[in-house]
Amino acid sequence: MICRACLRASRAGLRSEASQRLASVQTPSRALSLASTRFAAPAAYSTSALLQQRALQTPARLPSRTYSTAASEQPASAGLEKPADLDEGEAQVWDILIREFAPTNLVVRDISGGCGSMYGVDICSEKFRGLNMLKQQRLVNAALGELVKQWHGIQIKTSVP
């Protein structure tokens, strides 16, 4: 690659010692004119031709992820088992959320210290796909309905598998 100063000197016919050394070094040259790069691409460099050329130059890509049909036929919550350490309030919330959302991951905890006035819910469900966080949390609040009105508060973390 030649710097701009050396390029200008070679165009003007003034070859310095450094530019003569650079000229003697064999470097790959690019045959692009200023007009073709700034204003219009020649027909050989059309978009489809460039895409085809790039496809030939890129290495083979990794195969795309495949999903088994057996897993998709089963309900998503089939792998979730109700934890044995849930108290009565946590179990009630667990049952409602399993029924409504078929989550792939669900954690329900009484974070009020045991009095049942505040719960923390961490839920991962496919039903949340395409929804923003506020809409996801509104769905959880709507599913829990009257229970939420009896509590001091609820902490909801939602995600999509």
Domains of the chain and CATH, by start: 80-159 (3.30.300.90)
Where does the pLDDT of residue 80 fall: very low under 50, low under 70, confident under 90, or very high at 90 and above?
confident
Rounding to the nearest 10 degrees, give the CA dihedral for residues 87, 146, 137, 102: 60
> Which pLDDT does position 45 carry in this prediction?
54
Where does the pLDDT of residue 67 fall: very low under 50, low under 70, confident under 90, or very high at 90 and above?
very low
> Which pLDDT does position 3 carry in this prediction?
63
Q: What confidence tens digit (pLDDT) does each residue in 25-49 have?
A: 554 555 454 444 444 555 555 555 6
36 conformational bin, left if phi > 0, alpha if psi -120 to 50, beta if neither: alpha
Q: What confidence tens digit (pLDDT) does each residue in 100-157 have?
A: 999 999 999 999 887 888 999 999 999 999 999 999 999 999 999 999 999 999 999 9
